[in-house]
A and B are shown apart, each in its own frame.
Chain A
Amino acid sequence: MSESKPQGVNDYGYRQFYLGSYSFARDEYFAHISWPGGSHMISVDRFLRALMRDVAWNFFYGTVNFDEVFGTTNHYGTVDVFAGLYNGGYRAQNRQFVETLNGDAVRSTFAAILEDWTNEGFDPFAAPEETGTPFGAKHGSNLGAVRRNRVVAQRMVGLKNDTPLRSDATGNPVNRQFSDVDQGEPEVHAEPGFEDEVHAFNFFAYLSRSDVTWNPSITSAVKNSLLCPTTEEYMLPIIHGNDRVEWFVQLSDEINWDVQDRETGAPRARVVMKPGDVAAMPADIRHQGYSPKRSMLLVWENNDSTLPELYASKKLKPNPVDF
């Protein structure tokens, strides 16, 4: 294949990328990350699924660990890109590496990697059973899939001038694993003049039509209180490190969570959540979820921008309530 290979790409057809002191390359199976004094490999399957979330979420809240070594921490303007920073073994030997970079620069490089390294037929947001393989030499692309962002309602999904509802007509069919979810709409009887304020919608049907997994998207806001439901299948492709307390309400089916110490990765607990279960995730943990069947999870966030500093400086305790 080397004779027809375009300029600037490796033997497998992929571009190499540079960000700060990091370089990123891929082959048929792996992402290779290098930095001064170290290097790391991640299965490209895991890497692309993690990268998709990091880009679409704009680094989300706190830390997005791609695996036990590599990841990003959001400082809402700048981003720490790190290797070994939250790994007990690396830290014990002072082998961690971290660079604080401009958030927009990191995001645009990550988006470019995602676009170049995602092949035709692979959707990093989809459950593995619903999509093709990420492996092999470069073949085509899937720009429509990798350019999706999370939905961000200002007040509530479906209100006038807010983010729209989903239907067959909008290109959002019911997912195969939610084919039994009732699609009936609430009865909404608005008096003349109040059509824009008397509002309700079938929230579970809306979620049943999500074409992405592990992608908390805002459906309603009360000041800084954001309901960020998401549909989950297979496993969260990152290990999320909190910079504040977040809460989970299991709406349907079951998710198991592995919870670890945020700094070292030492196991702290497993949390098994069934329909109606509510649990907090403390501000000093990281977690990864496993969902055997596609399930509906309500992630609840407090968007107050002063919180990371208050938890980091221990002015707030990591647990939400004392009893």
Chain B
Amino acid sequence: MPRETRFGSLAHFEKGGVQVINDDPRNYAFSNLFEVASKAEPYEKVAVGKNLKYVLEAIRAEGTSPWYAASHDEAAIVMDGEIEIRLVKLQEKIVADDHEGTTILEGAPKGQKMGHIVARRGHMALLPKGAAYQFHAALPGVILLQTIGGDLTAQRWKDICQS
């Protein structure tokens, strides 16, 4: 018998949690990315996962973001809403190869237009190395970003995690 597949959203999410037997719940850094995004400023990059230098960031997409670039690929999963991703091939290297994480650009990038993507819930997009990108969301949405911790990564575990 088919049963409904349940996803979460900004408008509707339920949280599970850690039920301790002999442990400290903080070991699990348990949070909910929709809850985090519901309390975040537009395009704040809040770490919900951190494995040494690597992070997963929950991003509240709302309106138009600044332009970003990184010295490595990043991957964006749209968890809620509809998000346009605009891509420009950077004419000059703006981020040094050894600088990891997302870098914010001042103003619009110089370079050739690569194209754009309109992605909805469940879609994954490549934010390729060497490109600048910008998000646009007419209505609030949520992005889960696979990247490396950087200058823009906000860590506020105490606020977002079960303790």
Q: Collect the chain A residues with CB atoms within 8 Å of residue B23's CB.
A: 259, 268-269
Interface membership of A169, Cβ < 8 A:
no
Q: Which of B123-163 contact A (CB under 8 A)?
A: 123-126, 128, 131, 144, 146-148, 155, 157-158, 161, 163
Closest to B89 in A: A194
Interface string of A181-207 (1 = CB under 8 A from B): 110111111110010011111111100
From the candidates A188, A223, A276, name the one contacting B35 in the complex (CB within 8 A): A276
Contact present for B2 and A179 (CB under 8 Å)? yes
Distance (whole angstroms) from the CB of A159 to the closest CB of chain B: 7
Listed by A's residue number, 6 A-B pairs whose Cβ atoms lie within 8 Å are A197-B126, A198-B87, A202-B122, A268-B23, A276-B35, A280-B30
Contact present for A278 and B124 (CB under 8 Å)? no
Distance (whole angstroms) from the CB of B59 to the closest CB of chain A: 13
Closest to B142 in A: A276
Interface membership of A320, Cβ < 8 A:
yes
Interface string of A25-45 (1 = CB under 8 A from B): 000000000000000000000
Contact present for B30 and A187 (CB under 8 Å)? no
From the candidates A177, A249, A322, name the one contacting B5 in the complex (CB within 8 A): A177
Residues in chain A within 8 A of chain B (CB atoms): 155-157, 159, 176-182, 184-191, 194, 197-205, 219-225, 227, 244-247, 249-254, 256, 259, 266-282, 293, 300-302, 304, 307, 316, 318-323
Please judge, given known A-B contacts A176-B2, A189-B115, A252-B5, whether A224 and B54 are in contact too, CB under 8 Å: yes
Distance (whole angstroms) from the CB of A35 to the closest CB of chain B: 31
Q: Collect the chain A residues with CB atoms within 8 Å of residue B99's CB.
A: none
Please judge, given known A-B contacts A222-B72, A282-B28, A293-B3, whether A302 and B52 are in contact too, CB under 8 Å: yes
Interface membership of B26, Cβ < 8 A:
yes
Interface membership of B50, Cβ < 8 A:
yes
Contact present for B27 and A318 (CB under 8 Å)? yes
Closest to A244 in B: B51
For the complex, give the distance between the alpha carbons of A280 and B18 in Å: 11
Q: Collect the chain B residues with CB atoms within 8 Å of residue A293's CB.
A: 3, 5
Residue total for B at the interface (Cβ-Cβ under 8 A):
71
Q: Collect the chain B residues with CB atoms within 8 Å of residue A178's CB.
A: 5
For the complex, give the distance between the alpha carbons of A33 and B49 in Å: 40
Distance (whole angstroms) from the CB of B117 to the closest CB of chain A: 5
Contact present for A186 and B117 (CB under 8 Å)? yes
For the complex, give the distance between the alpha carbons of A176 and B5 in Å: 11
Give the most central of B27, B30, B113, B125: most A CB within 10 Å: B27
For the complex, give the distance between the alpha carbons of A204 and B8 in Å: 13
Contact present for A186 and B125 (CB under 8 Å)? yes
Please judge, given known A-B contacts A187-B117, A202-B122, whether A279 and B30 are in contact too, CB under 8 Å: yes
Q: Collect the chain A residues with CB atoms within 8 Å of residue B120's CB.
A: 182, 184, 186
A275-B13, A302-B54 are known contacts; what are 20 more A-B pairs with Cβ within 8 Å? A156-B75, A157-B124, A182-B122, A191-B112, A197-B87, A197-B126, A201-B123, A202-B123, A222-B72, A222-B73, A224-B54, A225-B148, A227-B75, A245-B51, A269-B22, A269-B23, A278-B56, A307-B52, A320-B29, A321-B29
Q: Collect the chain A residues with CB atoms within 8 Å of residue B74's CB.
A: 222
Distance (whole angstroms) from the CB of B76 to the closest CB of chain A: 9
Contact present for B118 and A271 (CB under 8 Å)? no
Distance (whole angstroms) from the CB of B132 to the closest CB of chain A: 12
Closest to B37 in A: A276
Contact present for A271 and B19 (CB under 8 Å)? yes
Give the most central of A177, A178, A203, A205: most B CB within 10 Å: A203
Distance (whole angstroms) from the CB of A181 to the closest CB of chain B: 6
Please judge, given known A-B contacts A278-B30, A321-B157, A323-B26, whether A272 and B17 are in contact too, CB under 8 Å: yes
Q: Which 8 A/B pairs are nearest by Cβ-Cβ distance? A: A204-B122, A272-B16, A275-B8, A276-B8, A323-B157, A200-B125, A203-B124, A225-B54
Contact present for A200 and B119 (CB under 8 Å)? yes
Please judge, given known A-B contacts A197-B131, A271-B16, A320-B29, whether A191 and B73 are in contact too, CB under 8 Å: no
From the candidates A187, A200, A227, A280, name the one contacting B146 in the complex (CB within 8 A): A227
For the complex, give the distance between the alpha carbons of A157 and B56 in Å: 19
Contact present for A302 and B51 (CB under 8 Å)? yes
Contact present for A300 and B56 (CB under 8 Å)? yes
Closest to B47 in A: A321
Please judge, given known A-B contacts A186-B123, A200-B119, A225-B146, whether A277 and B21 are in contact too, CB under 8 Å: no
